A and B are shown apart, each in its own frame.
Chain A
Amino acid sequence: GAGVSQSPSNKVTEKGKDVELRCDPISGHTALYWYRQSLGQGLEFLIYFQGNSAPDKSGLPSDRFSAERTGGSVSTLTIQRTQQEDSAVYLCASSLGVGRELFFGEGSRLTVL
């Protein structure tokens, strides 16, 4: 597809389980971002990938959160031992580089029971 694709669109899990969220960016976009959005709120930065550079992980809230980007394309955000406060919409975005327009996916809504 032409846009950023995220899966799953909805995920309900039990507290303590691990979850994986996937992002397929726009082809040719070297920058990839993960943000978290609580209900009706602004976006909280989590992690940023740019080409082959080391990722900027400064926004990850705890060591239960990790992300990887394979082959400079698809990215996976992993949350281990989920907690109820992890419930949010996780948004992925890609761009042609720093300071350029971000193109967002529709998000993955995570609910931790």
Chain B
Amino acid sequence: TQLLEQSPQFLSIQEGENLTVYCNSSSVFSSLQWYRQEPGEGPVLLVTVVTGGEVKKLKRLTFQFGDARKDSSLHITAAQPGDTGLYLCADTGGGNKLTFGTGTQLKVEL
């Protein structure tokens, strides 16, 4: 059974700071998706990465897929309160379902 571990579990920072969160898998990802979930809402897809070493940018968010496709990172530059939420990585290779990671709860304070 694939295990997706995310770190840190919790992160509280001040507005304007930079941060990086990580997603590590016990096996190779088929492809990896990052979702953000705000309180009271369902998760929303941010990005899909497919190729080892791939880097994608979405405004202040930079997503990197490890060369061996067993890990990924999400870097946020100059965090804002609107970035607050639960960040989830997910592997698309579990047959009929996405396998989600344990999540990183991010809080950005003024």
Q: Report which A residues bind B (CB closer than 8 A).
A: 4, 33, 35, 40-45, 48, 50, 56, 59, 91, 93, 98-99, 101-107
- Interchain residue pairs with CB less than 8 A apart (23): A4-B42, A33-B97, A40-B86, A41-B102, A42-B4, A42-B100, A42-B101, A42-B102, A43-B43, A43-B98, A43-B100, A44-B100, A45-B97, A45-B98, A48-B97, A56-B96, A59-B97, A91-B42, A99-B30, A102-B45, A104-B43, A107-B40, A107-B42
CB pair A40–B103 under 8 Å, yes or no, is yes
| Nearest CB of chain B from residue A49's CB, rounded to whole Å | 9
Residue from B30, B97, B103 in contact with A42 in the complex, judged by beta carbons closer than 8 Å? B103
Q: Smallest distance from the beta carbon of B79 to chain A beta carbons, Å?
A: 19
Contacts A35-B100, A48-B97, A98-B96 known; 20 new A-B pairs at CB < 8 A: A4-B42, A40-B86, A41-B102, A41-B103, A42-B6, A42-B88, A42-B100, A42-B101, A42-B102, A43-B90, A43-B98, A45-B99, A45-B100, A56-B95, A93-B42, A98-B95, A102-B45, A104-B42, A106-B41, A107-B42
Nearest opposing residue in chain A for B89, CB measure: A42
CB distance from A64 to the nearest CB of B (A): 20
CB proximity of A21 to chain B, nearest CB, Å: 14
Min CB gap A55→B, angstroms: 9
| Interchain CA distance A44-B96 in the complex, whole Å | 13
B interface bracket (residues with beta carbon within 8 Å of A): 20 to 34
B40 / chain A contacts, CB cutoff of 8 Å = 106-107
Partner of B96, one of A40, A41, A48: A48
> Hey, which chain A residues are within 8 Å of B30, CB to CB?
99
**Which residues of A lie under 8 Å from residue B41 when comparing CB positions?**
104, 106-107
User: Which of B9-62 touch A at CB < 8 Å?
Assistant: 30-31, 33, 40-45, 48
